[in-house]
């Protein structure tokens, strides 16, 4: 085969977890892959900068090609399938041409991560590697200075948008609880935990590890809703060291 007829070997798709926001919490492997990347993809809103890109900004090579995956951030539904279909094909073109593509993922790629939608579209066609990251779950526990769970207690992770009756049932069956995607549901979730007699056992964290972080007992959180990056941690045991910390900001 002539040199100019050589078959190009397809590239590898990397889903790289960035951690909760503090760049120091990126893994060594994530750091290495990003710093050497020729093509970088990342989720981005349609009305502002990409949080994922901001975490890794100091590592991205100046000459790297960037593929922002524009996902509208609003309550009403949007054509998400079409967004990921288009992004997958743009990334596929780079992979087919032999370029590795590093996809930046807030937290961990497979823990409520949007990378899974690219993965399912591309894994049958290209090599894919997942690089785990520090999750918001463990970051919030660290910032609250409270273990997530102990001994044989069951930890349950609950999305905040679920209806009250389902959240109540899952909390009653668990020993420890993390409620994610709190956002506008904060007042409702506070009322529910108050009705269950558990409000004084719950801690609240928003924007964990960032300069704008807030860490406080849930009872002290406001009633106006919460940012997207917020979480409630609840432990139902009696250990004193599990009690919420004093308010900090």
- The CATH number for 9-131, chosen from 1.10.10.410, 3.40.1010.10, 3.50.50.60, 3.40.50.10860, is 3.40.1010.10
What CATH topology corresponds to 136-242? 3.30.950
Average pLDDT over residues 9-31: 97
Q: pTM score, two decimals?
A: 0.87
Average pLDDT over residues 195-205: 94
Query: Is the per-residue pLDDT at 121 higher than 50?
Result: yes
Query: Is the per-residue pLDDT at 96 higher than 60?
Result: yes
Nearest to 224 by CA among 186, 195, 191: 186
| pLDDT class of 169 with cuts at 50, 70, 90 | very high
Contact 174, 236 (CB under 8 A): yes
Q: Given the structure tokens 């078959």, which residue do they identify? A: 7
Check residue 161 and give its pLDDT.
Answer: 93
Strand partners, 28: none
Same fold, 9-131 and 136-242: no
Record the tokens describing residue 63, joined without a space.
Answer: 């000459």
Q: Rounded mean pLDDT of the chain?
A: 90
- For the chain, what are the domain ranges? 9-131, 136-242
Which stretches does DSSP call E strand in the chain?
A: 12-17, 39-44, 65-70, 101-105, 127-131, 155-159, 176-180, 202-206, 214-217, 230-235
């Amino acid at each position: 085969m002539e040199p100019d007829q050589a078959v190009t070997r397809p590239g590898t798709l990397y889903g790289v977890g960035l951690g909760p926001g503090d760049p120091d919490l990126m893994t060594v492997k994530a750091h290495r892959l990003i710093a050497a990347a020729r093509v970088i993809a990342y989720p981005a809103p349609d009305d502002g900068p990409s949080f994922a890109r901001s975490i890794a900004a100091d590592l991205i090579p100046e000459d790297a090609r960037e593929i922002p995956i524009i996902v509208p951030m609003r309550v009403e539904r949007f054509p998400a399938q079409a967004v990921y279909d288009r992004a997958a094909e743009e990334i596929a073109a780079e992979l087919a041409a032999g370029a590795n593509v590093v996809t930046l993922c807030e937290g961990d790629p497979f823990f409520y991560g949007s990378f899974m939608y690219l993965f399912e579209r591309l894994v049958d066609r290209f090599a894919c590697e997942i690089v785990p990251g520090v999750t918001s779950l463990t970051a919030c526990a660290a910032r609250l200075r409270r273990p997530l769970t102990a001994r044989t207690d069951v930890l349950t992770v609950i999305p905040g948008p679920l209806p009250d009756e389902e959240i109540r049932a899952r909390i009653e069956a668990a020993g420890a609880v993390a409620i994610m995607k709190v956002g506008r549901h904060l007042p409702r979730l506070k009322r529910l935990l108050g009705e269950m007699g558990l409000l004084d056992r719950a801690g609240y964290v928003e924007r964990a590890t960032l300069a704008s972080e807030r860490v406080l007992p849930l009872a002290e959180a406001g009633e106006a809703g919460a940012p997207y990056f917020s979480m409630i941690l609840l432990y139902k045991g009696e250990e004193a060291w599990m009690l919420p910390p004093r308010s900090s900001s």
